[in-house]
Chain A
Amino acid sequence: MKSNKFGFTLSEPRVIDYEANNRQIAEYIFDHEPTFRLCIECGACAATCTAGQFMTFSLRELNVLLKRGENDIPRQRIKNCMFCGKCILVCPRGVNTRGVIFHAREAFRKIEGNERF
């Protein structure tokens, strides 16, 4: 219902509905880059990220959203990564962060058939 007849609109619910969400993208990354499981969301990757200094891009945030099946924001932002790999150097948990992004993009391409990735 997007009618603007009465001068107001309805907001979409912000709640993460775990059961309703599809986590295929995250499952694909788990299968191909198992270190994805090791993230503790500390944010070191996002702090060192050059892309993140100029664009809206936090791998820490994308990690959480993908794991909950909230794929819209990752789909929109994941191409901001330039694959420089600085994040791998700072990750305290040994996550192959570049591999995570690589396989996330691959998942969007293969599972959603989105050639943009």
Chain B
Amino acid sequence: MENIVVIGGGVSGLEAAGQLARMGYSVTVAEKNEKTGGNVKNWYHLFPDRRDSKEVIDYLNKLASHPDIKILTGKEITEISSRNGKFDIKSSDGTVLEADAVIVATGFELFDSRRKEEYGYGIYDNVITSADLEKMFRSGGVRLVNGKLPEKVGFIHCVGSRDEKVGNYYCSKLCCVTAVKQAIEIKEKIPGAEIFCFYMDMRMGGPYYEELYREAQEKYGITFIRGKVSEISVNINGKLVTKAEDTLAGRPLRMELDMVVLMVGTEMPEGNIKLAERSLLKCSENRFFKPVDNHYGSNLSGKKGIFYAGCCVAQMNITESISHARAAVSEVVNYLKNR
């Protein structure tokens, strides 16, 4: 039986593995973390319908619990090399996996907010990231460090995205709608709270995103302020003094908040840049893997037998990641049948 190695056990990786196994192939999934499920397993509810992320994880686990799928966790892949139409996939622990074809589904990692020092992540209490907030939701409560409920919460969009200063020109696409979802969730848990979203553009380009945005304004009274926050400081009362220009009023604005949530963007993980270098795979200017063609060859790496699936090539939501993984499977099958 032909064996395919899938690098990455997130949404795309597990979806691709499951579909390949159903078609009669033997699959090995190499996941660098101790658990599969990628970034989604760290999320509480998903946009735009706010279903529990566990439902998606359960679906993926069920799909991947096929007798022909072997899942190896704690296995970071460092290099893919080929010889005589076969692939050697080297891991950081020194072991080598053999494969007839490879799907790279290494995904993304979240921007490290400490790089935007002016927002004080890791310096001020109560400046948290969108991922930290999801953890709070999951563990039951949104609280300040002193245990109190926040009365005023600000969301800062585009942290690590659309920002030349951190070397990321691109839009991370998933954060705008996440901010709207999280703003609604805080408002539901703390109805008296005032919530503000500081944005550069609201990019609601997905099914039901705009509807969610409208609901946030109409039903939950979330305030949207167009302007990028320049800096945050703490005053003597422990409030987070937030400075921005209210660009639609054409005036600078100053506000005191109890909690600030940084909407962190997506980045190509450092390890995957090295994987690309060692395996002679091309990366785009945004550092993500560069497929052969952005329209009709987005699963093709340019090296026969190596394919891409999901967020390792571009920002995708779960629906798009699953579709892209299925498309990668069709490329793999086509390759194996005609090689």
Which residues on the A side are within 8 Å of B246 (C-beta)? 16, 64, 68
Chain A min CB distance to B293 (Å): 36
Are B254 and A18 interface neighbours, CB within 8 A?
A: yes
Are B251 and A70 interface neighbours, CB within 8 A?
A: yes
- Given that A37-B221, A38-B217 are contacting pairs, would A60 and B248 also be in contact in the complex, using a CB cutoff of 8 Å? yes
Which residues on the B side are within 8 Å of A37 (C-beta)? 217-218, 221
Chain A min CB distance to B251 (Å): 5
A window 27-43: CB within 8 A of B: 30, 34-35, 37-38, 40-41
B window 175-226: CB within 8 A of A: 202, 214, 217-218, 221, 223-224, 226
- Given that A41-B226, A64-B246 are contacting pairs, would A30 and B252 also be in contact in the complex, using a CB cutoff of 8 Å? no
Bound complex: CA A38 to CA B253 (Å): 21
Interface size counted on chain B using CB atoms at 8 A: 17
Give the A-B contact count at a CB cut-off of 8 A.
47
Bound complex: CA A93 to CA B202 (Å): 15
Chain B min CB distance to A21 (Å): 10
Identify which of B218, B224, B252 contacts A16 (C-beta below 8 A).
B252
Are B248 and A41 interface neighbours, CB within 8 A?
A: yes
- Among B202, B226, B246, max chain A CB count under 10 A is at B246
Query: Would you call A84 an interface residue if the criterion is a C-beta within 8 Å of the partner chain's C-beta atoms?
Result: no
Q: Residues on B close to A: CB < 8 A?
A: 202, 214, 217-218, 221, 223-224, 226, 246, 248-249, 251-256
Q: Residues on A close to B: CB < 8 A?
A: 14-19, 30, 34-35, 37-38, 40-41, 60-61, 64-65, 67-68, 70, 93
CB-defined A-B contacts under 8 Å, sample of 18: A14-B252, A15-B253, A16-B246, A16-B251, A16-B253, A16-B254, A18-B256, A19-B255, A19-B256, A37-B218, A37-B221, A38-B214, A60-B248, A64-B246, A64-B248, A65-B249, A68-B249, A93-B214
